[in-house]
A and B are shown apart, each in its own frame.
Chain A
């Protein structure tokens, strides 16, 4: 017995019928694999939907003395900061991510997410293995624009590593001018920048 396309195949005599059966089984295996990926939450669709806005945030990390910390190390992103948007009305949750942004923007701590117009609580966590977190309110207007939600600064103790010694941000700063430069690097269809700061 051999395995093809995830299915155990009984041996059959060589010929066009046997070949057809093998191909059909392989196709069915691919279909089931895509179905399984979808069921596991792996999206096979394009990220942007027509009624969604692109929301930009920036994460900044500093030591207690105010000196900045580079969010990226030799092997990629160092911090395990989590930023999650939860729709207040529906409870739907989505994570911000730097994927899709230019590498320079990601290095500077910019993250983004497509969100439907509505009201959200943005949950910010310095590290996944500690319960410390902070919630902010975010209004996403129907602006057909890139929405800038603000910049969040984590304060980290010396010996900082992977966010475990960082405190959640307590306030939101406005870097709209920098955000406009990031928005300019995004496709034109997302529109101009609109600032709607977290609060």
Chain B
């Protein structure tokens, strides 16, 4: 959780005044979220492009010279509350990208997950 979310969570807790906020996370893209557990099969320098395609399927985008696969998925995360008979909702839509780079012999050289905040909305 990034610091902004932590601050928002504390604010929500203060605003709710006795209600019980409910955190949720849901995938909202065709691809399921890829977590660290799903990437355990990768060993830098030995895992091949074929191994990656077998485990993760076709990437959402691929570039050549040097080859890079980009896998993308979207997650919606938020918090609900019902303060004093009203309704409170705050949510974030984030797009995650897994970057997997390969060398000239198609072995994995690096991988990293980056994220972009697509939207941040609240309904008081």
Contact = CB atoms under 8 A, between A and B. Distances in A.
A131 B92 CA distance: 10
A58 interface: no
B101 A89 contact: yes
A99 interface: no
B116 to A, nearest CB: 6
Interface string B71-101: 0001000000000000000000101010101
A49 interface: no
Contacts of B68: 88-89, 119
A91 B99 contact: yes
A13 interface: no
A86 B97 contact: yes
B112 A119 contact: no
Interface in A56-95: 84, 86, 88-93
A180 interface: no
B112 A129 contact: no
A86 B97 CA distance: 10
B74 to A, nearest CB: 8
A116 interface: no
Given A125-B118, A129-B121, A133-B118, A90 B63 contact: no
For this complex, into which size category does the number of interface residues on chain B fall?
Answer: 20 to 34
A128 interface: yes
Contacts of A92: 114
A123 interface: yes
Interface SS of A by simple majority: loop
Interface string A113-129: 00000010101010011
Chain A interface bracket (under 10, 10 to 19, 20 to 34, 35 or more): 10 to 19
Nearest to B99: A91
Given A88-B68, A90-B99, A128 B120 contact: yes
B26 interface: no
A131 B116 contact: no
A129 B63 CA distance: 30
B66 to A, nearest CB: 8
Given A89-B99, A89-B101, A130 B119 contact: yes
Given A130-B119, A131-B93, 10 more contacts: A86-B97, A88-B63, A88-B68, A89-B99, A91-B97, A93-B114, A119-B63, A129-B119, A129-B121, A133-B116
24 contacts: A86-B97, A88-B63, A88-B68, A88-B99, A89-B68, A89-B99, A89-B101, A91-B97, A91-B99, A91-B112, A91-B114, A92-B114, A93-B114, A93-B116, A119-B68, A121-B70, A123-B116, A128-B119, A128-B120, A129-B119, A131-B93, A131-B95, A131-B118, A131-B119
